[in-house]
Structure formats: structure tokens, C-alpha cells
Amino acid sequence: MTYHTLLFILTAAAAVAAVMMKDLLMSALMLALVSVGASLILFDFQAPWAAVFELSVCAGLITVLFVSAVSLIRREENKLEDNRMRFYAMPLVMGLAAIAAWFYAVPFFESLENWARFGGRVNSLGAVLWDIRRFDLLGQISILAAGVFVINSIFPRRKKQK
Amino acid sequence: MTTGLLAYLLIPLFTAVLIPFAARTRHRLAGVLANVTLLAGLINVSLTLFNPANLASAFSGLAENGFALLMIFVIYLVALCVTFFSSYFIGNDSTVNRVPYYSLILTSVSAMCGIVTTGDFFTLYIFVEVLAVTSFALITSDDGAKGLEGAIKYFLLTFPASLFIIFGIAFLMLTAGTFSFESLKVIIASGLPVGGVVFAVSLILLGFLIKSGVVPFHTWTPDAYEGAYAPVSAYLAGIVTKVSGVYAVIRISMILRLFEIKAYHTAEVLMFLGMLSIVVGALAALRQNEFKRMLAFSSISQVGYIILAAGMGTPLALLGAVFHLVNHATFKTVLFLNSASLEKSAGTSDMNKLGGMEHSMPWTSWTSIVALLSTAGVPPLSGFWSKLIIIIALWDGGAKIYAVTALLFSVVTLAYFMVMQRKVFFGKPTEASRNAREVRPAMLVPVVGMCLLIAALGAFFPYIYAYLVEAIAARTIL
């Protein structure tokens, strides 16, 4: 129970951070963290396929795409006045969401917990990742390596041009 | 995925990670490391593939998947040619950063090996995406405006493909409950109604058709090949787009067992698109003035032959498709590398500004002739045999109109290449070509080697045919 709550809070915090971050790169990384959190929750509620997809596509691939797109954008100093609206609205939205979560998410997780117990908790995260989708993991590693090399290839050139 | 072939995937990935550390201060070391890794892999796979003992035992000693092994051989071959060529092509004043360049090439080699060894659609999808990301960065290697445009077009226009593939995979999960090629084959071969599975696989097929640049979806190919950094366009046209798209199409048509009546409509559409690609690609290639653009359209046309054969789906047609895929990698790499040499020494690849290059660049001229004759299907070069197999298979399968058109358009292929050869290499020398010199001998090694291979594949065709029949048809198709 506490594990889920912690994961849920972590995911929510990362999601808020993704919206609030001024730096696009950090924002993309926070979004990846949201996906990782979501996939861990899915793993724990006996949805290994959904979790593997979430982890592969959202956390791995989409992040690499975002990061390579961000690396193509030239950084211009703030010419436009930053829109502060979201900073005023955010606490209100977060407060409402937190209250709603207290009422709905906690019982929801408990009921899910029961269903998970009903399904029989056999697949630990490691077992699913390693036994069923062993070669995808290799693909994930290649994606991450590719992402690093893309950044390595594109970022220095952008700096030089500046 | 067969674990026996895992080393071909892991070792390049390892070197790719090693390069940024090892070549931090001496950037030239990056090229050396990449070349050594690829050469070692190529020698290793050639020893398995061309071992004379194989033929004597009818390939029964070959434990690995024959199709994957052949593809790995081609991947390593083209990648080695491109890295060896680039290590002399990248000058000291170049904007290309050697370290990430070679790392990206090795990562994409690793991803391609993943694609050809996997036995599962989801893993295939992941590796295809790795390949898309690395090619995106490779296209922009020299940071030109055209490269960036090509890369963005490549990315935006192949993005819907990923969407179709992932939808197809999700649908497959719903209907068949599995992604594995073997289980899908069993499901399709069984007598059960398989409409849902065929629909899902057809969605995936549509995605891979977009990725392979077949005619209604071909608009990204010429821009990407033309804009890409010169050696990279050889790499893309030679192997990357073929493995990320065409290979999967062949694989899917093996799964669907198109020669039975099962996925009849899918097969018809595939054949039609293949024919359309042959026709449109060849006619468009006739009208191009830019060398690389012409080669790109020729590539579309040649991919059409492969798709047409895959749509026919009989074991013989599939063998033709596989062999044409191998041949296409050899001759298109030669032609694109030659266009890179032309660009380097004459400063342009516009065919109207070039002329009489055979006097200043005889080796480049002659290797182009070998490659273009093989593309057009002139005996005894390798391209002749693969086209012959495809046309015979089409005729046998009852698609006689397709067979005749395919034959006719191989004459058109010869025509547009002859126009190219006359404009660029023969004729009177122009301003640009008078100052041109033949490139350094080291840059000629890959193209001459490839030409020898083209001749050898043609001359030793009986051995190749035995391999295709015993190691691929008997094990993977049937």
C-alpha cells in the first residue's frame, strides 16, 4: 500500500515538474520519469504487458525523440515575456487533485490490490523483464546508447554555431 | 531470437560505447576501432557462410538461421565499406565529428542485427526505432541545411509508419495473444479463421511498406538520400532502409504464407504496389539531373522488384526477393559511394555540370559500369540471377502480366543508367571535370571489392542457389 502511494506521489510530482520546468530538456526527462513511475505501478498491478510497452515506448523511445528534437532547437534568450499564468493556476489545480486523490485513489488502489491478489502475484518485475522480454531489454539499451550518441553528435555543433 | 547470433549484435554495441572513451583525444582512433570491429565480424560471418564443407553436407552443419546469417553478412559488408570509405572521406577540415559518427554507425549495425535475428514483432519494432533514431542523426552528420531538411522529412514521413506498426502489434496482442513469428505461422497454417490476425499483420505490413519507401509513400526517399552526408546516403540506401522496411516485408510474407489462399487480398495489394514502384521509380529516374536523386529513384524501382516478389509469396519468389535484397545492397552501395567520390573530387553531383569523367576518374567510371549492369540485370552479374528468379517465379505463379512488365522495366533501368553514364563519365570534359582527380586508392578499395563480389556472386551462383534453397527455403519459408 505505502509502496503504491509513494510511487503515485513520485509520478504525480514528476508530472507537475514536467509542466513547470522552464528547461525543455529537463521537462522531457521528467516526462520519462512519469512513464517509469506509471510502468512500475502497472507492473505491480499484474499488467506486465502494458508495463513493458509503457517502459519501452514512452520511457525509452519518446524520451530519445524529445531529447533529439530539443537538441535541434537553438536556444534564444528570452525575447518573449514568460507566461506566468500556469504558476498561479497550478497550486489550485494540485490542491484539488490531491483532495480528489485522497478520496478516490486510495480506495481505488486498495480494490486493485485485491484484484492483484486474486490474480496471484507471481511475476516479479525482474522475472517479467528478464524472462519474457529479454531481447527487448537489449533494444532498450541500444535506444539509450543511440540517444546518448545523438546528443553527443548534435549538441556540440549547436554550441559552436552559437 | 537465436542466442547463437547475439555476439554480432553485442560486439558493435560494445565498441560503440568504447569509442567515446578510447578516442577522446585522438579522434582518428574512432575510425580504426569501427573498421576493426566490422572487419572481424565480417570475417567471422564469412567463415560460417562460405565454408566449403557446408556445400558438401547440404548445409546441415549450419546451426543458425540461414536468412539471418545472410543478412548479417550483408549488414557487416555494407557497414564496413562505408566506414572504411568515410575514414578517408572525412577530411581534416570537415565539420563531421568522428567520434559520434562511428558510434552511431556501430549502434545502427547492432540494431540491424537485432532486427534480422529477432523472432518477435515487438522486439523488431524496438530495434527499428533504434535504427530510425540513429539514421536521423547520421543524415545530419555534416550539418548542412539540406541534411537537416532530409532528416526532418525522413522523420516526419516515416513517423506514421511507427504508428501503424504499434497499432498492428496491439491488435495482434488482442487477436492472437502472441507476437512471435513461429506461433503466428502456426496460427495461420491452422484451419482456424484468421481474419483478425491477417488484419493485424497487414497493418504492420503497411507500416513497413512506408518505411521501405514503396511508391505512394516514397516522397521522403529522394530528399533523405540527396540531403544526407555523402557516405551516409550509401549506408542508408544500401542497407538501413532495406533492413528497416523491406526485410520485414519479406519476413511478413513468409509468415502469411501468401502462396496459400489465406491472405489473398494482402498479396494482391503488395504485388500492385511493387509493380507501381518499379514503374514510377524507373520513369522518375529517367528525368533526374542530380546523380544522388536519380540513384534514389532507381532504389525505389529496385525495391519494387523485391516487394513484387514478396507479394507473389511462392518459395521461389521469396528466394528471389532475398537474393535481390542482397544484390541491391552490393550495387547500390557502389553507386552511392561513387557519387560521394564524384562530389569530393569534382565538387558537384549535378549530371549537367559533369562530363567526360572517365579520363580523370577511370576506376570510378568502371566500377559504376559494373554496378549499373548488375542493377539492370545483365548476365553474368549477380543482379541478372535475382531478377531471373523473380520473373520465373512470377510466370510460374500465373502473374504473367507482372512478369512481362518487370522484364520490360529492367530494360528501362538499363536506359536510365546509360543516360547517367553518358552524361557523367563519357562525353566531352566540362569545366568541373577538368580539374577533378581520381580519389585516393584507399577510397577505391571498398568499391572495387564490392564489384568483385558482384561478379563472384554471379559466377558462383550455383553455390548461392544451393544456400538459398537448403538454408533458407527449407528451414524458414516452408
pLDDT in tens, B390-431: 999 999 888 889 999 999 998 899 988 888 888 888 877 777
Residue B95 pLDDT more than 90? no
Under a CB-based contact definition with an 8 Å cutoff, are residues A137 and A130 in contact?
yes
Contacting residues of B for A152, CB less than 8 Å apart = 20, 97, 99-100, 103
Give the pLDDT score at A83.
Answer: 65
The CA distance from A89 to the nearest CA of chain B, in Å, is: 34
Nearest CA in chain A to B99: A153
Domain positions in chain B are: 3-477
Taking each helix axis as running N to C, give the angle between helix A2-20 and helix A85-119, from 0 to 180 degrees, rounded to the nearest 10. Answer: 150
pLDDT at A1: 58
Least confident interval from A19-23, B275-279, B291-295? A19-23
Contacts of A156 in chain B (CB under 8 A): 97
ipTM: 0.72
Of A100-109, B111-120, B128-137, which gets the smallest average pLDDT?
A: A100-109
Give the integer Cα–Cα distance in Å for B394 and A99. Answer: 68
Cβ count near B15 (within 10 Å)? 24
pLDDT in tens, B417-473: 888 888 888 877 777 777 777 888 888 999 999 999 999 999 988 888 888 887 787
A-B interface: how many C-beta pairs under 8 angstroms? Answer: 91
Q: Which residues of A touch B126 (CB under 8 A)?
A: 56, 60-61, 136, 139-140, 143
pLDDT at residue number B333 = 93
* Helix (H), strand (E) at residue A121: none
Question: If 0-12 CB within 10 Å is exposed, 13-18 middle and 19+ buried, where does residue A133 land?
Answer: buried
Give the number of other CB atoms < 10 A from CB of residue A137.
Answer: 16
Q: Mapping DSSP to helix (H, G, I), strand (E, B) and coil, where does residue B316 land?
A: helix
d(C-alpha B379, C-alpha B374), whole Å: 8
pLDDT band at A79 (very low <50, low <70, confident <90, very high): low
C-alpha cell at B62: 549450419
Rounded Cα distance between B334 and B299, Å, is: 13
Q: How confident is the model at residue B113 (pLDDT cuts 50, 70, 90)?
A: very high
Kindly report whether the global pTM for this prediction surpasses the value 0.95: no
Interchain proximity B104–A136, CB inside 8 Å: no
Between CA A11 and CA B20 the distance in angstroms is 34
Residue B216, preceding peptide bond in cis (omega within 30° of 0): no
- For residue B387, the model assigns a pLDDT of 92
Q: Please provide residue B180's backbone torsions phi and psi, each rounded to the nearest 5 degrees.
A: -75, 140
The answer to whether the CB atoms of B133 and A157 lie below 8 A apart is: no
Contact A135 B123 (CB under 8 A): yes
Residue A54 has pLDDT above 70, yes or no: yes
Q: Tell me how far apart the alpha carbons of residues B171 and B194 are, in angstroms, rounded to a whole number.
A: 13
> SS3 of A1, please?
coil
Question: Cβ contact (<8 Å) for A68 and B137?
Answer: yes
Give the domains, in start order, of chain A with CATH numbers. Answer: 2-74+84-112+121-154 (1.20.120)
Cβ distance of A143 and B130 shorter than 8 Å: yes
What is the identity of the amino acid at B348?
T
Average pLDDT over residues B181-200: 80
Per-residue model confidence as pLDDT tens digits over B312-352: 888 889 999 999 999 999 999 999 999 998 888 887 778 88
Residue B153: the pLDDT is: 84
- Please tell me the total number of residues recorded for chain B in this structure: 478
Range with the lowest mean pLDDT among A13-22, A130-139, B146-155? A130-139
Q: Following DSSP, what letter does each residue of B88-105 receive, concatenated?
A: HHS-TT-S--HHHHHHHH
The DSSP letter of residue B5 is G
C-alpha separations of B51 from B38, B58, B68, B71 in Å? 19, 11, 17, 17
> Could you tell me the three cell numbers for B2?
537465436
| Residues B259-271, mean pLDDT to the nearest whole number | 77
**Alpha carbon separation from B73 to A48, A150, B8, B192, B455 (Å, rounded):** 36, 26, 10, 38, 17
Confidence of residue A77 (pLDDT cuts 50, 70, 90): low
pLDDT of residue B260: 64
Measure the CA–CA gap between A105 and B378, rounded to whole angstroms: 71
- Nearest Cα neighbor of B354 from B406, B427, B419 is B427
Annotate A5-19 with DSSP letters as a single string.
HHHHHHHHHHHHHHH
All residues at 6 or more sequence positions from A143 whose CB lies less than 8 Å from its CB, including other chains: A60, A61, A64, B126, B129, B130, B133
* Whole-number pLDDT of residue B246: 92
| More confident: A70 or A74 | A70
| Identity of residue B312 | M
- Return mean pLDDT, chain B: 86
Contact of B334 with B371, CB cutoff 8 Å? yes
Residues above pLDDT 90, as percent of chain B:
33
Residues of A at the B interface, defined by Cβ within 8 angstroms: 49, 56-57, 60-61, 64-65, 68, 72, 133, 135-136, 138-143, 145-147, 149-150, 152-154, 156-157
Q: Which residue in chain B is spatially nearest to A135 when comparing CA positions?
A: B123
| pLDDT reported for residue B1 | 47
**B226-251 confidence digits (pLDDT tens):** 888 888 999 999 899 899 889 999 98
8 A C-beta contact, residue B397 and residue B317: yes
Nearest to B137 among A57, A60, A150 (CB): A150
Count of Cβ atoms closer than 10 Å to residue B25 Cβ: 6
pLDDT tens-digit readout, A94-137:
888 888 877 887 777 777 777 666 555 555 555 555 556 667 77
Give me the DSSP letters along B386-401: HHHHHHHHHHHTT-HH
pLDDT of residue A133: 64
Give residue A117's pLDDT. Answer: 60
Taking only the tens place, the pLDDT of each residue in A81-95 is: 666 666 777 778 888
What does the alpha-carbon distance between residue B463 and residue B70 come to, in Å, rounded to a whole number? 13
Q: Are B13 and B130 in contact (CB under 8 A)?
A: no
Q: Chain A residues with CB inside 8 Å of B127's CB?
A: 139, 142
Yes or no, beta carbons of B104 and A65 under 8 Å apart: no
